[in-house]
Amino acid sequence: MTQKVAVLGTGKIGEALLSGMIRGGWATSDLLVTARRPERAEELRGRYGVEAVTNAEAAKAADTLILTVKPQDMGKLLDELAPHVPADRLVVSGAAGIPTSFFEERLSPGTPVVRVMTNTPALVDEAMSVISGGSHATEDHLAHAEEIFNGVGKTLRVPESQQDAATALSGSGPAYFYFLVEAMTDAGILLGLPRDKAHDLIVQAAIGAAVMLRDSGEHPVRLREAVTSPAGTTINAIRELEGHGVRAALIAALEAARDRSRELASGQG
Ligand SMILES: NC(=O)C1=CN([C@@H]2O[C@H](COP(=O)(O)OP(=O)(O)OC[C@H]3O[C@@H](n4cnc5c(N)ncnc54)[C@H](OP(=O)(O)O)[C@@H]3O)[C@@H](O)[C@H]2O)C=CC1
Ligand SMILES: O=C(O)[C@@H]1CCC=N1
């Protein structure tokens, strides 16, 4: 049976998902989008050939509603949607922090809710999407959410209690790697390389390392040891990283991201 899917609040994540679904073969006639600004709706219509409708129209017409507004906008969106969402709709939230109970309290009793934390590599079909069901979500609902998000990368089911940690790791994760590339490119400048060459060297090193992490089956420690020659160059760099507390900084950074996800839980953020 064909299911109509609506993406409500189609910004960066909503568009990444929409484009991935279209690349994955979803018919545009089975997709709807909503946007806050008319010019954004027009942009999406023009770029993807999808129908842009109001939030209320999406709630009535689609079987699955994927809500991709900012956590701070979710309460307002739900106030607008609640009178129009029949309890047989599947509601998927892509927002950081907000628990499934927040939606269940505001929608018709029994409405199934699935919480998903994806990430921006959805744009290149390399997302990590972490999925949890609310109290009325069945196996079929979870499987349907997986089908949608498998189209833009990998999915993993976790208990909802692990969602804030997942947000800190994979939701925000790409930003940490971009930050590292930016910092290492600066280092290349310091060492006398032109910026474009420094960038290319680091990006390819990152891609090579990522593919080895994914495909070699080796533990990261083993992979690092293989690079680290006795009395060689790498160990000098590692000593500096440890001396500057980079490991502790990363642990503290992810803890802070997890804490912020918890703070966003009320949707007031
Ligand atoms: N960016 C990321 O890396 C990730 C983000 N997320 C989550 O995804 C969600 C979206 O983030 P992101 O895509 O970055 O944010 P964006 O601001 O790019 O997208 C949100 C969109 O929602 C629109 N919007 C807000 N309120 C309404 C409304 N009532 N009706 C229709 N549209 C509305 C906004 O419109 P306008 O353009 O007018 O502001 C905007 O286009 C957040 O909840 C975030 O926590 C999850 C994983 C990763
Ligand atoms: O920074 C944020 O709040 C969002 C959620 C995960 C990634 N970006």
Query: pLDDT confidence of 2, banded at 50, 70, 90?
Result: low
For residue range 63-108, list pLDDT tens digits in order. Answer: 999 999 999 999 999 999 999 999 999 999 999 999 999 999 999 9
CATH number, residue 20: 3.40.50.720
pLDDT at 233: 98
- What is each CA distance from 257 to 34, 55, 74, 167, 184, in whole angstroms? 29, 30, 20, 8, 23
- Do residues 130 and 60 share a domain? yes
- Do residues 64 and 90 share a domain? yes
Residue finishing a domain among 163, 190, 225? 163
**What distance in angstroms lies between residue 35's CA and the mean position of ligand 1's atoms?**
10
pLDDT at 1: 42
- Do residues 157 and 181 share a domain? no
CATH number, residue 212: 1.10.3730.10
- Do residues 142 and 229 share a domain? no
Domain that residue 110 falls in: 5-163
Residue finishing a domain among 143, 163, 183? 163
Query: pLDDT confidence of 35, banded at 50, 70, 90?
Result: very high
Q: Kindly report the pTM of this predicted structure.
A: 0.96
Distance, CA of 224 to CA of 205 (rounded, Å) = 13
- Do residues 110 and 178 share a domain? no
Which amino acids bring their CB within 6 angstroms of ligand 1? 8-9, 11-14, 34-37, 40, 55, 68-71, 73, 76-77, 94-96, 117-120, 171
Average pLDDT of span 45-51: 98
- Do residues 106 and 27 share a domain? yes
Q: Is residue 208 part of a domain?
A: yes
Q: Is residue 46 part of a domain?
A: yes
Which ligand has the shortest distance to the CA of 71? 1
pLDDT at 257: 98
**What distance in angstroms lies between residue 143's CA and the mean position of ligand 1's atoms?**
24
**What distance in angstroms lies between residue 138's CA and the mean position of ligand 1's atoms?**
26
Whether the pLDDT of residue 119 is over 90: the answer is: yes
Q: Is residue 268 part of a domain?
A: no
Tell me the best of 74, 93, 115, 167 to mutate to test the pocket of ligand 2, counting ligand atoms within 8 Å of each CB and taking the most. 167
**What distance in angstroms lies between residue 190's CA and the mean position of ligand 2's atoms?**
31
Q: Is residue 269 part of a domain?
A: no
Structural domains of the chain, count:
2
**What distance in angstroms lies between residue 171's CA and the mean position of ligand 2's atoms?**
6
Q: Is residue 168 part of a domain?
A: no
Average pLDDT over all residues of the chain: 97
Which ligand has the shortest distance to the CA of 257? 2
pLDDT at 49: 97
